[in-house]
């Protein structure tokens, strides 16, 4: 789904920095995301991609700069409050409650993350399960799931919070081509619901089936931002991948 860049962005990062002691992980990050937009993020290992997502969702506080959501300064808001506003992420390594069923995992997300109660929460979870093709696994304990189903459960839990912005951290990692294709179909369905997507992924061909805009991070800086094909042909992007940075 395309976005109208003439309107105010849904999410904005302005001059964001992140340091861990002497280590400077993010440097002068300026980023906007509009409603319904799908943005892919690429870059070599250690470029700061996951840290960038963590700062956007409030898992980590920036060392400098500002994060705004719907025009409101949320820089100091914790992740739990950002979820309730509609800003949600998935994790590179799925983290379900292993002893709970798939349904129970999603219900916790709906009631605690999204603050939805009663029958509305149940309906929201059932919709998320159907969307992610997991209704037949609703009563399975999460610890018994294989990798693909754990990845889908990450999406189920995120969707159960009623997100407006969904941040995906290498959700395609470790999957076969067929499994990655299934995942893309689910994410494309999310786009039809006007959910904005920010997706970090090393599987560039998979990423480009969703993202209409591509950002490349290197050394904590955005070195390219725009049309995916133009970004991939940018000499700075090519150099970043060939030269690389250690994790």
**What's the token pair of residue 155?**
């999406």
Question: Above 60 in pLDDT, residue 211?
Answer: yes
Chain mean pLDDT for the chain: 93
Give the integer Cα–Cα distance in Å for 66 and 29. 10
pLDDT of residue 247: 32
In this structure, are residues 90 and 186 in contact, taking their beta carbons and an 8 Å threshold? no
Per-residue H/E/C for the chain:
CCCCCCCCCCEEEEEEEEEECCEEEEEEEEEEECCCCEEEEECCCCCCHHHHHHHHHCCCCCCEEEEEECCEECCCCCHHHHHHHCEEECCCCCCCCCCCEHHHHHHHHHHHHCCCCHHHHHHHHHHHHHHCCCHHHCCCEHHHCCHHHHHHHHHHHHHCCCCCEEEEECCCCCCCHHHHHHHHHHHHHHHHCCCEEEEECCCHHHHCCCCCEEEEEECCEEEEEECHHHHHHCHHHHHHHHHCCCC
Domain boundaries, the chain: 1-86+163-247, 95-161
pLDDT of residue 95: 86
pLDDT tens, residue by residue, 163-200: 999 999 999 988 999 999 999 999 999 999 999 999 99
Question: Above 90 in pLDDT, residue 97?
Answer: yes
Average the pLDDT over 73-97 and give the result.
Answer: 94
Classify domain 1-86+163-247 by CATH number.
Answer: 3.40.50.300
Give the integer Cα–Cα distance in Å for 140 and 1. 34
The structure's pTM equals 0.91
Question: Above 60 in pLDDT, residue 244?
Answer: no
Pairing of strands 72-73, 87-89: unpaired
Give the integer Cα–Cα distance in Å for 26 and 48. 6
């Amino acid at each position: 789904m395309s976005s109208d860049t003439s309107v105010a962005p849904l999410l904005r990062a302005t001059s964001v920095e992140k340091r861990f002691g002497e280590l400077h992980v993010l440097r002068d990050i300026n980023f906007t995301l509009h409603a319904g937009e799908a943005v892919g993020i690429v870059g070599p290992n250690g470029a700061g991609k996951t840290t960038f997502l963590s700062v956007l969702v409030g898992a980590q506080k920036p060392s400098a700069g500002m994060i705004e959501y719907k025009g409101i300064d949320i820089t100091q808001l914790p992740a739990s409050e950002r979820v309730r506003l509609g800003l949600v992420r998935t994790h590179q390594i799925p983290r379900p409650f292993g002893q709970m069923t798939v349904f129970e995992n999603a219900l916790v997300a709906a009631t605690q993350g999204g603050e939805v109660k009663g029958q509305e929460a149940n309906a929201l979870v059932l919709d998320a399960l159907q969307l992610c093709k997991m209704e037949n696994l609703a009563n399975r304990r999460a610890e018994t799931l294989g990798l693909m189903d754990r990845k889908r459960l990450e999406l189920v839990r995120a969707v159960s919070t009623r997100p407006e912005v969904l941040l995906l951290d290498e959700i395609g990692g470790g999957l076969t081509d067929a499994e990655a294709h299934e995942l893309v179909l689910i994410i494309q369905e999310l786009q039809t619901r006007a959910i904005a997507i920010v997706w970090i992924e090393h599987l560039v061909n998979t990423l480009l089936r969703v993202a209409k805009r591509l950002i490349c991070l290197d050394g904590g800086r955005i070195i390219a931002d725009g049309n995916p094909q133009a970004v991939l042909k940018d000499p700075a992007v090519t150099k970043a991948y060939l030269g690389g940075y250690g994790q």
